[in-house]
A = this chain, B = another copy of it.
Amino acid sequence: MYDGIVQELIDEFGRLPGIGPKSAQRIAFHILQTQNFDVSRLSELLIEVREKVRFCEVCGNITQEERCAICRDPRRDQSLICVVEEPKDVVAIERTRQFRGLYHVLGGAISPIDGIGPDDLSIPQLMSRLSSTEVHEVIIATDPNLEGEATAAYLSRLLNSIEVPVSRLASGLPVGGDLEFADEVTLGRAFEGRQKLS
């Protein structure tokens, strides 16, 4: 195909998620031909990120310290824990500016098909965290899909057994959407979760 290292670069990019052979080729040529693209910075960052970024020892979020910025922040409400699947969910929730408690990042969701059980997630860490601190509410914010719902159901049983109040993010119609385009499961949930207006 291409001379040595160009093909190697295309292959390496092609190993990244969501990048097919055509995109990989396009990216490699962009890097070759665009002088103002900072190759050395990307090259450094790849190494730096792998070396310096780790998981917060309290919540499992990504951080460059032992504890993440949210766990270190004394202004956050220590009695509220929001359980999410991935670090990117923390970022999504932080963007809403509605939640001022702490997080617990599971590192995925229960998925028997993929061989992921409760012990492959940071559920034991969550339980020991709850036993050592006073928590008023655990909000389960796993994804509203099959794996996320299974994880929420599992957690809810587990947390009920140790008598910690648990809630789950509301399901319903997405704001700004058209009712007619909502799928029947979402619409059904919106009915179940309907709220009194007066």
A-side residues, CB < 8 A to B, are 1-6, 8-9, 12-13, 15-19, 23, 25-32, 37-50, 52-53, 62-64, 68-69, 86-88, 91
In the complex, what's the smallest C-beta–C-beta distance from A93 to chain B, in angstroms? 12
Q: Identify which of B9, B32, B46, B63 contacts A3 (C-beta below 8 A).
A: B63
A16: B residues at CB distance < 8 A: 27, 30-31, 37
Judge whether B62 and A3 touch: CB under 8 Å.
yes
Can you sample 23 A-B contacts with CB below 8 Å? A1-B91, A2-B87, A3-B53, A3-B62, A3-B68, A4-B64, A6-B49, A6-B62, A8-B41, A9-B45, A12-B42, A16-B27, A17-B30, A18-B23, A31-B49, A32-B49, A32-B62, A39-B46, A39-B47, A39-B50, A42-B46, A43-B43, A46-B46
Tell me the nearest residue of chain B to A52, going by C-beta.
Answer: B5
Judge whether A53 and B32 touch: CB under 8 Å.
yes
Judge whether B17 and A26 touch: CB under 8 Å.
yes
Tell me the complex Cα distance, A100–B2, Å: 17
Tell me the complex Cα distance, A44–B19, Å: 20
In the complex, what's the smallest C-beta–C-beta distance from A13 to chain B, in angstroms? 8
Q: Identify which of B8, B17, B48 contacts A5 (C-beta below 8 A).
A: B48
- Give the dominant DSSP class at A's interface: helix
| Also in contact, A50 and B32, with CB within 8 A (given A2-B91, A91-B2) | yes
Judge whether A12 and B62 touch: CB under 8 Å.
no
In the complex, what's the smallest C-beta–C-beta distance from A170 to chain B, in angstroms? 24
Judge whether A53 and B5 touch: CB under 8 Å.
yes
Tell me the nearest residue of chain B to A26, going by C-beta.
Answer: B17
Judge whether A64 and B17 touch: CB under 8 Å.
no
In the complex, what's the smallest C-beta–C-beta distance from A12 to chain B, in angstroms? 5
A9: B residues at CB distance < 8 A: 42, 45-46, 49
Tell me the nearest residue of chain B to A27, going by C-beta.
Answer: B16
